[in-house]
Structures are given as C-alpha cells and as structure tokens.
Chains A and B, each alone.
Chain A
Amino acid sequence: MWEDIKSFASTFFVTGDPLIYGADVAIVLTTLAIVFVLTKYKKWGWLWREWLTTVDHKKIGIMYLICSLLMLFRGGVDALLMRLQLALPNVEFLHSEHYNAIFTTHGTIMILFMAMPMMFALFNIVVPLQIGARDVAYPFLNALSFWLFFFGAMLFNLSFVIGGSAESGWLAYPPLSEKMFSPGVGQDFYIWGIQISGIGSLATGINFLVTILKMRAPGMSLMKMPLFSWSVLSSCITIIYAFPILTVTLALLFIDRYLGAHIFTMDGGGNPMMYVNLIWMWGHPEVYIVVLPAFGIFSEIVATFSKKQIFGYKSMVFAMIIISVLSFFTWAHHFFTMGAGADVNSFFAISTMAIAIPTGVKVFNWLFTMFRGRIQLKQPMLWTIAFIPCFVIGGATGVMLAVAPADYQYHNSYFLIAHFHQVLIGGVVFGYLAGIYYWWPKMFGFKLDERLGKWGFWLWNIGFYVCFMPQYALGFMGMTRRLYTYGWDLGWAPLNLVSTVGAFMMGLGFVFQVWQIAYSIKHGERDTTGDPWNGRTLEWSIPSPAPVYNFAVIPQVKEADDWWATKQARANGTANEAPAKLEPIHMPKNSGIPFIMSFFWFIAGFGFVWGWTWWIVIGLAGVGISMLVRSFQYDTDYYIPVDEVRRTEASLGRAV
C-alpha cells in the first residue's frame, strides 16, 4: 500500500529538481497565506459576492489584468532562466529536458496566458465605456469566458509541479508532440489548458463583436467610433475565424494521443505537415489578434497626448480591416523551408510583404498626428513613442523574413527570435503597458507614479535593445533557436552574454513597475475629475472609477471625439445640453455559475490529462448540469432605482 502511494506520488508530482522543490514550497506558503488572510479578515463572502460571481465588465477586466501580470511574471522568470543557461557556453544550470520545458512554457504563457488576457483586460475595461454602453452584450458569457481562461491557465500552470510540463515547443509540432516522442502528461496539460481557455477566448470574440455592433450609444455611427473600439472589432473578427481552427487542431492532436489515432503521427499514414499548416492558420492571425488592439491603444494615446485629432481616421480603419483579412493569407511563411515549391512560396512571400503596407500607413498617420500637435511626454505617451522605432525596425526585419529564399537563411535562427520578440514586445507589450498606464486612473481612480514609472520605462527600453539586437547577429552566426547549450568554438559567447544582461535589465524594469504600483496605491495622484489626461472619448466623461452602471444617462453622440467636442463647446459657451432625465437602470445579476461551470471543466480536463474516467464523467456532468441550471434561471436581471443612481452620482461629485 505504502509502496503504491510512493510510486503514484513519484509520477504524479515532479521530483528531483531543487528549483521545483523551491517552487512547491513557495506555492504552498502563498496559498496558506491567502487562506489565512481571507479567513482572518472574514473576506470569503466579499470575495464570492464581489469578484467570483461578478458579471461587471470592469471587475472582470481587473481580474484579467491581475492574472496577466502574474503570468507575465512567470513567463519572464522562465525567460531569465533560459538567458542564464545561455549566458555562457556549456553552462550546467539546466539540463536539456528542463530547458525544453521552460522554453515551451515561456512561449505558451506569453502568448496565450499573458498577451491574450492582458488584451481582454483592456477590452473589458475600455470598450463599454468608450462606446457609451452599460455592460457588454452578454455579461454572463463574459464572466464565463474569464473563468474558462482562469481554469485553463491553472491547468496549464499546474503541470509545472504535477506531472511535468510539455517539452515540444509552444506550438507542439507533431510527431514530436505525439505519444511516441512525448509520452508524458505535460503535452496533455498543454492541450487541455489551451482548449479550456480557448473556448473562453472565442466567446469573448463573439461577445465584443456583438457589443460593438449593437450597443453603441445613439448617434455613434461606426465611422464616429473611437479607433480603439475599431481595433477591438477587427481583432474580434479575426478571433472568430481563427480560434475554431486552434480548437479543432488541438482536438485532433488529443485524439491521436488519447485514442491512438494517426492523424498527425509519423507512422500509420499520419501527416504532421497538416498540423503545421493548421496550427499556423490560427497562429499567424493570432499575432494580429494581439497586435491590432495595441494599434488601437496607440491611436487613442497619440491623439490625446498630442492634443490633436487622429490623422487619417479613415485610412486607419481601412488599414486595420485589411490587416485582419490579410492575416489569414500569410500562414505558410512560417515554413517556407518545408518545400512547398516556388509557386506557393512566391504567393505567401508577397502576401506577407503586403501586410507591411497598411502597417506602414498606420505609422505615418501616428507621426502626422503628432505633427503640429503638442506632445506631452506622460507615461502612456512615452511607451507609444518608444514603440514607433522599435516596431518599425521589427517590421523591417519582418519584411526581410518574408523574402522567401532569404528566409531559408533566417528560419529557426536567432534572427527570427529577435524579430518576433521585437514586434511582440515592441508592439504588443509596449502597447498594452501604454494602455494600462493610460486607463489605470479610470480603473482605480489614481495615476501611477511618474518617477518610478520612468525607471521602469528606461530599463525596459534599453534592456530590450541590449537583449535582442545581439540576437539578430547571432542568427547570422548560425545560432538556431531552442538550443539548451552551445560550445566555445563558434564565437557565440560574447553576444549571448550581452543578451542575458539585457534580459535582466528588462526584469529589473518589471520590478520597478511592481514597486510603482505598490507605491502608487498609497501615494499616487488621485483622479477626482474622471478626466486626468484631458481625454477625447466617452470613457473620460464619467467618474473614475466608473460607477457600476457606467453612465447615469446614456450620452447622445454627435462627433468622432465626442467628449473633446463637448468640452470645447462648454468652454466656448455654445454647449446646448438639455437637463438629464434619470430613469431606472437595467442591469444583469451576479451569478456563481460561470465559476462553478469552469471549475467542472477543470475537473474534466484534469481527468483527460491523466486518463481518469471518473474525473471526466464528473467534470462533464458538472458542466452539463451547470448549463441546465442556467437555462432555467429566469431571474437574471434587476433595476437600479433612480434614487440610488442619484445618490451614487452625488457621492462621486456629480449633480444629476
């Protein structure tokens, strides 16, 4: 009996690595600390009522944000571990399998569990406020999306200490990811973690598409909609077409692994190339899914901090739509070297280069928004200005990569690694950080400290170039990605050491940002006006943080930058505002079902990973029952009476 338990425990838990034992201890202690604090201050009820069951888009956004920052931390630690291992030749810090697990985890987390939720955080926090809505189109579904993401991410992260992590790269190319070469459960954790959160992502795409199309304030025609909302719209369209491909692809891979099918296997008539095509049919649009909202953020910030209308609004909209359409016609550039032949390679080379055209136009439009403006170098604008050169260089190396025959020399080398980190960090991360700094006062009612933020900003920026510029050179020196070690003979050592120093500078930048948040909670400049940056769009017309119903009265939109126009009119004394008439506000009720249903998905996923039939049965039954219960709930909404709205507005300093 004791022996059985011991042998089970040794396969169930990851053993033998001091780093992981350290993590085990940290996880247990953190959990105990959280439980202790919640119990001591009697906060369990608060947690359940205010957060776990909430359907308020603003709170869901904040939860996405917290998760994504935690994931940024974990993915970042992974990156630093890798850079330590590669700092010098023949370092004996991580062994091959551990290193492989770390780069797989780093990639998966950064794209799917960091970039995606950070993007959804901003969707949630900003879009309804920006279009003058009181919530998203489907608030219950929105909560469900979040909890599916949360439990999917939990499942994926659990493989770190239970069962072992996946080791076959962030896109899990078969046949390496098949049972034959990856017999462990890590690959199944990867599949189910992504599948469960992927359902949530698809639902979010649908939710925000409908929200933007159906819930804009009266008078806000599509061509008067702020550009961030346009970017969300184009991103959501891309999600809706791309994510089902991911779900099907990973489902087929799981069928191979679980039922012994031969869809992508090496033998038995399987076709791994099919997988590579399918995964990139999702994977390429995915990078545009995350970068388009960043473009939207920059457009908002550039206009606000140049005190000038965005230049070439129609071009901007047109460019985003072209990008989201073209993104579906470039997937094969990820494997020019797979021998598809000259016709295919020529097509995909040209279509890839073509994406540079609308992207370039956007850069020019941002520049000419600043031209003849008045540029205030506040934190959001600093990140935006840093983004432009970084993304321009990253885009240029992207065009170089698109030259198919030349790509034969860049493919899978550090040149490629440097390129995609430059567009993903310079574009996506800088963009989301800019967005977080910009909308932070709207979320929490105070600004983040400028001084500490500038330390973070410069460390990130200088660190970025120190880390990734040498990697372009390493690519030319023949260094390929995913090497856990290398020798002295090839001359790769100095540049790798420089790169590691840069990575740690970025890590230090992150530490400064965490410090900045902690410091600003106490000492940050309070936002009493609701409009700390002299903004242009509707979200700045309401108090910070926004009341639960967002708008006491739904605004009537007349202009593209409506709030700016209103302020101008008020200043000129030409404002013709009828006294607002309050009405009871219709709102959705909280529900525990999204949390419970997602938890059952987690149980089912865990069962699938380990092949435990009872867990699968209980999990799926729980999911089904949750759906049934929800189907028979009719009491899902309520009205906020006029008195209460008036009281709330008064307490926020607004007379209605």
Chain B
Amino acid sequence: MGARKWLGRVQFWIMAVLASVLLSGCGSEYMVLNPKGPVAETQYNLIIISVILVSIVILPVLAITFYIVWRYRDKPGNKAPYQPEWAHNTTLEVIWWGIPVVIIAILGYFTVRDTYALVEPPNKEVKPITVQVTSLDWKWMFTYPEQNIATVNYVHIPVGVPVQFELTAEAPMNSFWVPQLAGQIYTMPGMAMGLWLQADEPGEYFGTGANFTGKGFAHMQFKVIAEPQEEFDKWVQQVKNTAPGMTRQDYENLVKPGLSDRLTYSSFPPGLFEEIVKKYGHAHGNHPGGMNHYKNNLKNNDDQHDEGHQGGGQQDAGQHGSHGGNDAQASHQHDMSGTNH
C-alpha cells in the first residue's frame, strides 16, 4: 500500500505538470472524448459538431470584443470615430438576429436526428442481450434474465453485441453512466428505463452513478468488462458452476443501505427485476414520460421469462440455503460508518 501511495504521489506530480498544458492533448483519461462503442460515438460526434457550430459564433465575438475595447478606449488622442447618437441600424440587427437562428437551426437538425436515432438499437443485425440494472443504496445490482445470473458492482458484456439495459431502483434515483460506451440514464423506483449500449473493443470500462443518493454515493462506481462472445459465454458458465445462488434474503440484505464488494450469483429469484419495478409502480398503471420503454420492456420481460425461468427455477431450488461461496457473503456488506472518518 505504501509503495502504491508513493507511486500515486509521483504520478500525481507528473500529472500536475502536464495539467499546466490543460487539455492540450486528449489523453485516455478523457473518457467522454474516447468513445469505444457506437452510442458513445454518436454522442461524441454531436459534441464535436456543437463545438464547431458554437465556435463559428463565439470566436469572432471574442475577437470583436477585444478589438472594440482596444480601439475605442477613452484615451487622449484616440483617432477612432466617436458617434454618440448612433444607436440603430436595421441591417446589422437583422444580421445578428439571423446568424444565431441559422446556427441553432443546423444544430437543432443534428440534435433531433440523433435523439430519435439513439432510441433504436445501435446494431440491428446482431441479436441483442438484455441486462437488468437495479441501483440500491449504495451499490449496483445487475441481473441477466437470459443467462439467469447476477452480479453486484461489475458487469460483463459481449463485444460487438448491442446490450439493452433495463434500469430501475430500489433507493433514491440514481443515474447509470458508462462514459466510454454511452451517455447516462436515470434509474428510478417504480419505473423500468431503457438504455442501448454496445462495446466495440474488449476492455474494462469505468462506470459510475451520476445522481446524488446520499451518504455512500461517492462509492457507487462499477466496472463494465467487455469481452469477446466466447469468453463471455465461458464467464457465464463459470459463474453458473462456481458462484452461489441469490436468495430473497440475499437480496433483502443488498437493499439495506451500505457499501458492497463485487459479488457474483449463479441465479436470482425469478422475476426479481419486474417485482422491484412493480413494487413501487403505480396502481393506476403507466406513467407519463419515460414510459415509451415501459410497455415494451414489460412485454419483452414476459417473453424472456419463459426462457429464463426454466433454468432459473431449477437452479434456485437446488441452491437454496447454500450461499456460502467465496464472493457472496453477507459480511462483504460494509456498514457505511466504516468508511466514515
């Protein structure tokens, strides 16, 4: 630990020097500017387009500002013209009402185009995989309805396959963000949100909660591990063979406020995600807004259930009460007071 800390310090001072040439090069730590999947790529392109478009306006404005302040400063002998009554010029005013209108129209076009595009899966050729996300106080739980496995604070996905995240919360609302793969989406109790995402390169990606949820919020970071399909399948198989199953009691323990290490489960109670959504859902049915996904999701889930259930049900029966595996121990649940200084 001491050595690591020392290394950290050294690295820090080197970085501090580098920081003086702020933003001069976009190193790999600028995650948003280094997209590794089509969704983040689209968003990155929009960022670049918007930077170019606003620069068309602001760079000349900044230049004009400095020029005017310099040229018309009040000093004796300044020969620049002085016209104290000149206060209106229709042509000029039409021009500067017009320029922003044109810029906004162009930017608006790209915005609307991509807003609709990102509702669709990034790749329609490949059959997507579904991963359900539940944000808890203060941890991320991932359940795989098709594979019937579950993880906490990390998630594996296959490379090149569109992933449909379905998201909810059993805690104050959070926001699910993997900057290099896709922008964020809120997780909210009583609702199932949807987010498409795809990784084009294998790797470990940084993921984090982005909406404040209280005491342990700063620790709600997770890893997204993208790997080729075969390795992903191997991982799933390994989880099924070695990890314990998640019981209802395990889930109840996860819901309790506190931090958690990475956990792995070879199964989870059937229909857990749908239950969490419905638990806080509204008796009067669907919500306005956000619920375009909702109907689809529930329909999808029902389909998927039929697949997921058989495996899940069996495993569940077999593994009840035997969750003494390496990872999934209740003792891994920290009380936040431990991290509090």
The answer to the question of B293 belonging to the interface, with a C-beta cut-off of 8 Å to chain A, is yes
Contact residue among B72, B107, B216 (Cβ-Cβ distance under 8 Å from A370)? B72
Contact residue among A95, A168, A469, A488 (Cβ-Cβ distance under 8 Å from B340)? A95
Interface hit among B171-179, B243-251, B304-312: B171-179
| Contact indicator A374/B111 (Cβ below 8 Å) | no
Contact residue among A339, A403, A469, A482 (Cβ-Cβ distance under 8 Å from B290)? A339
Interface hit among A38-46, A393-401, A431-439, A517-525: A393-401
- Given the interface pairs A271-B282, A346-B111, the reply to whether A406 lies near B82 with Cβ below 8 Å is no
| Contact indicator B69/A370 (Cβ below 8 Å) | yes
In the assembled complex, the CB of A486 is this many whole angstroms from the nearest CB of chain B, namely 7
| Contact indicator B206/A267 (Cβ below 8 Å) | no
| Contact indicator A469/B101 (Cβ below 8 Å) | no
Q: CB-nearest residue of chain B relative to A483? A: B218
In the assembled complex, the CB of A512 is this many whole angstroms from the nearest CB of chain B, namely 23
| CA of A24 to CA of B85, assembled, Å | 58
| CA of A258 to CA of B19, assembled, Å | 50
| Contact indicator B61/A392 (Cβ below 8 Å) | yes
Q: CB-nearest residue of chain A relative to B212? A: A482
In the assembled complex, the CB of B62 is this many whole angstroms from the nearest CB of chain A, namely 5
The answer to the question of A617 belonging to the interface, with a C-beta cut-off of 8 Å to chain B, is no
| Contact indicator B112/A469 (Cβ below 8 Å) | no
- Given the interface pairs A350-B108, A405-B43, the reply to whether A488 lies near B12 with Cβ below 8 Å is yes
- Given the interface pairs A266-B172, A306-B72, A372-B72, the reply to whether A396 lies near B54 with Cβ below 8 Å is yes
The answer to the question of B318 belonging to the interface, with a C-beta cut-off of 8 Å to chain A, is no
Interface hit among B24-32, B153-161, B234-242, B266-274: B24-32
| Contact indicator A476/B290 (Cβ below 8 Å) | no
| CA of A481 to CA of B175, assembled, Å | 12
The answer to the question of A573 belonging to the interface, with a C-beta cut-off of 8 Å to chain B, is no
| Contact indicator B292/A341 (Cβ below 8 Å) | yes
Which residues of chain B are near A396, meaning CB under 8 Å?
Answer: 54-55, 57-58
**Interface size in chain B (residues, C-beta < 8 A):** 110
| Contact indicator B107/A346 (Cβ below 8 Å) | no
- Given the interface pairs A368-B92, A389-B65, A399-B107, the reply to whether A490 lies near B213 with Cβ below 8 Å is no
The answer to the question of A9 belonging to the interface, with a C-beta cut-off of 8 Å to chain B, is no
In the assembled complex, the CB of B44 is this many whole angstroms from the nearest CB of chain A, namely 8
Which residues of chain B are near A174, meaning CB under 8 Å?
Answer: 172
Interface hit among A227-235, A422-430, A493-501, A602-610: A493-501
| Contact indicator A373/B72 (Cβ below 8 Å) | yes
Q: Which of A466-498 contact B (CB under 8 A)?
A: 469-470, 473, 475-478, 480-486, 488, 490-495, 497-498
Q: Which range contains the number of A residues in contact with the other chain?
A: 35 or more
Contact residue among A372, A392, A399 (Cβ-Cβ distance under 8 Å from B81)? A372
The 8 A CB mask of A381-420 against B (1 = contact, 0 = none) is: 0000100110011011001101111111101110000000
The 8 A CB mask of A143-174 against B (1 = contact, 0 = none) is: 00000000000000000000000011100011
The answer to the question of A360 belonging to the interface, with a C-beta cut-off of 8 Å to chain B, is yes
| Contact indicator B172/A173 (Cβ below 8 Å) | yes
Q: Which of B75-127 contact A (CB under 8 A)?
A: 78, 80-89, 92-93, 96-97, 99-101, 104, 107-108, 110-112, 114-119
| Contact indicator B188/A388 (Cβ below 8 Å) | no
In the assembled complex, the CB of A635 is this many whole angstroms from the nearest CB of chain B, namely 49
The answer to the question of B185 belonging to the interface, with a C-beta cut-off of 8 Å to chain A, is yes
| Contact indicator A339/B185 (Cβ below 8 Å) | yes
| CA of A399 to CA of B282, assembled, Å | 36
Interface hit among B128-136, B141-149, B189-197, B322-330: B189-197
Which residues of chain B are near A168, meaning CB under 8 Å?
Answer: 212, 214
| Contact indicator B29/A477 (Cβ below 8 Å) | yes
| Contact indicator A476/B46 (Cβ below 8 Å) | no
The answer to the question of A307 belonging to the interface, with a C-beta cut-off of 8 Å to chain B, is yes
Which residues of chain A are near B92, meaning CB under 8 Å?
Answer: 364, 368
Which residues of chain B are near A307, meaning CB under 8 Å?
Answer: 74, 82, 84
| CA of A480 to CA of B26, assembled, Å | 19
| CA of A44 to CA of B283, assembled, Å | 61
In the assembled complex, the CB of B263 is this many whole angstroms from the nearest CB of chain A, namely 20
Q: Which of B185-241 contact A (CB under 8 A)?
A: 185-186, 188-191, 193-194, 206, 208-218
The answer to the question of B15 belonging to the interface, with a C-beta cut-off of 8 Å to chain A, is yes
In the complex, 13 of the A-B residue pairs with CB atoms within 8 angstroms, ordered by the A residue number, are A96-B216, A176-B173, A307-B82, A314-B88, A337-B183, A346-B115, A361-B97, A365-B93, A404-B115, A408-B118, A408-B184, A470-B19, A488-B12
Contacts A95-B341, A266-B280, A481-B210 known; list 18 others, CB within 8 Å.
Answer: A89-B8, A273-B289, A312-B93, A335-B186, A337-B184, A339-B293, A342-B116, A349-B112, A353-B111, A354-B104, A356-B100, A368-B92, A374-B82, A402-B111, A409-B179, A411-B183, A473-B22, A494-B19
Chain B residues at the A interface, C-beta cutoff of 8 Å: 8, 11-12, 15-16, 18-19, 22-23, 26-27, 29-33, 40, 42-44, 46-47, 50-51, 53-55, 57-58, 61-62, 64-65, 68-69, 72-74, 78, 80-89, 92-93, 96-97, 99-101, 104, 107-108, 110-112, 114-119, 172-173, 175, 177, 179, 182-186, 188-191, 193-194, 206, 208-218, 279-280, 282-284, 287, 289-290, 292-293, 336, 339-341
Closest 7 CB pairs of A and B: A408-B183, A339-B290, A494-B19, A491-B29, A176-B172, A396-B54, A309-B87
